[in-house]
Amino acid sequence: MIAAPLHSQTQEVIWTDQEKPIANQIGHLRDLPDNVRARTTRQLAIQIRRLAAAPHRLDLANSLANLSTEGDFGRETLQEVTTTLAAALRETPVPKSYVGAGQPAAGWDQPAMQYIELAQLVRYEHMQASLDDPQFAAAMSKLESDDESRQQADFTLEDLSGTKWTLKELGGQVVVVNFWATWCPPCRKEMPDLETLYKRFKNQGLVILAISDEEAGKVKPFVAQQKVSYPILLDPGRKVHQLFEVEGIPKSFVYDRSGKLVAQSIDMRTQKQFLEMLGRAGLR
C-alpha cells in the first residue's frame, strides 16, 4: 500500500548499526519474487522484535506492516508482522495525529497512523493483536465508522469517454470500487488480474469502477498501454477518495447485488484474493 514511507516525514531517521540492514531489506522488498518476499517479510518481523536496542523499532515495524499486505504472503507471515507492530506500539506509544481541515474528522483527537495500520490488520486481515491502548480502541472504532459511511456512500463520476456512473444506480449488479493511480506499483501489479476477472464475470453482472485522482491526460495513455477495458473514473478533486476515507492505495470495495458492502481490501490483491472477495457477493 502506498501511504507511509520508511522514514519520518519531518526528519530523516538515523538508523543504528542493528537497524540499518533491516531498513535496507524493507526498502527492497518489492524487488523480490513473491515466495522469497513472503519468507523475507516473516524473518524481518521476527528480527525487529528481537533487536536488543532499537530506538526506531516502531518505524521499522510500521513500514514492514505497510508493505506486508501487498498481495498474499500467507497468514503466518502476516501474523508475525502484526505481532511485531503491536509489540512496538506497546514499547513506544505514539501521540494522537492531526487531521487537516476539510477532512471528515479534522483536529488533533485522531488515532496515529500506526494504530490505524494495526487496526486494519485486525479488522480486515483478521489477525490477532493484544494492545491495551485507548488509541488502538479508537482506531478500531474509526474503521467501523468508516465502513458504515462506505455502506451509505454514493457518487457520480465520469469515465474517460465521458459516461457518467452513479454507484447507487447499479443495483442488481456486483460492483467493485477500486482506487488506484498510474504512479502506484501495487496498483499496476493488480490491474491485469482485475482485467481478467472483469472479462470473466462482466456478463454475470460484474462492474468495476476504477477511480483515479489524476488528470485525464496522464490516465488515458496509461490505460491504453495497459489495455484495460473496465471503466476508469476520474476524481481530480479527491471528493470520492475523501468520501471513502482513502489515504493509501490501492483499495477495493465490493458491493453485492443488493448494494451491501460485503468485502474490501486495504491493499493490493491477487487474483485468488479478488475471487474470494467476489465470492462474498455471489460471483463464482
Residues 39, 137 within the same domain: yes
- The CATH number for 232's domain is 3.40.30.10
Residue 72 CB neighbour total at 10 angstroms: 17
Q: Are 100 and 63 in contact (CB under 8 A)?
A: no
Q: Is 148 exposed, middle or buried (0-12, 13-18, 19+ CB in 10 A)?
A: exposed
CA distances from 55 to 20, 102, 133, 183, 184 (A): 12, 34, 20, 32, 30
The domain boundary, picked from 98, 122, 149, lies at: 149
CA distance linking residue 42 with residue 78, whole number of Å: 8
63 and 109 share one domain: yes
Query: Model confidence over 235-268: pLDDT tens digits?
Result: 999 999 999 999 899 999 999 999 999 999 999 9
pLDDT digits (tens, 9 = 90+) for 34-66: 999 999 999 999 999 999 989 999 999 999 999
Domain co-membership, 33 together with 80: yes
d(CA 36, CA 70): 14
pLDDT number for residue 95:
83
Are residues 129 and 37 both part of a single domain? yes
User: Could you tell me if residue 101 is inside a domain?
Assistant: yes
- Structural domain ending residue among the three candidates 132, 149, 166: 149
Inside any domain, residue 12: no
Classify residue 233: in a domain, yes or no: yes
Looking at the fold, whether 232 and 114 belong to one and the same domain comes out as no
- C-alpha cell belonging to residue 50: 528481537
One domain for residues 108 and 76: yes
Is the same domain home to 238 and 261? yes
**pLDDT tens digit sequence for 94-138:** 987 654 444 444 455 789 999 999 999 999 999 999 999 999 999
- Per the structure, the complete domain to which residue 186 belongs is given by 156-279
Query: What is the average pLDDT score of the chain?
Result: 92
- Domain's final residue, options 130, 149, 168: 149
Query: Do residues 145 and 172 share a domain?
Result: no
For 137-163, the DSSP string reads HHHHHHHHHHHHHHHH---EEEBTTS-
Residues in contact with 119: Cβ distance below 8 Å, sequence separation at least 6, in sequence order: 111, 136, 139, 140, 142, 143
Residues 104 and 203 in one domain: no
The reply to whether 130 and 172 lie within a common domain is: no
Per-residue pLDDT, averaged over 66-94, amounts to 97
Asked if residue 284 belongs to a domain, the reply is: no
* pLDDT at 97 (0 to 100): 63
Q: How many separate domains does the chain show?
A: 2
Quick one: 119 and 25 in the same domain? yes
pTM: 0.89
**259 falls within a domain:** yes
Where does residue 26 rank: exposed (0-12), middle (13-18), buried (19+ CB within 10 A)? buried
Q: What is the mean pLDDT of residues 132-149?
A: 96
pLDDT at 192 over 90: yes
In a domain, 9, yes or no: no
Residue 119 and residue 210 share a domain? no
273 domain-assigned: yes
The reported pLDDT for the residue numbered 11 is: 61
Residue 7 falls within a domain, yes or no?
Answer: no
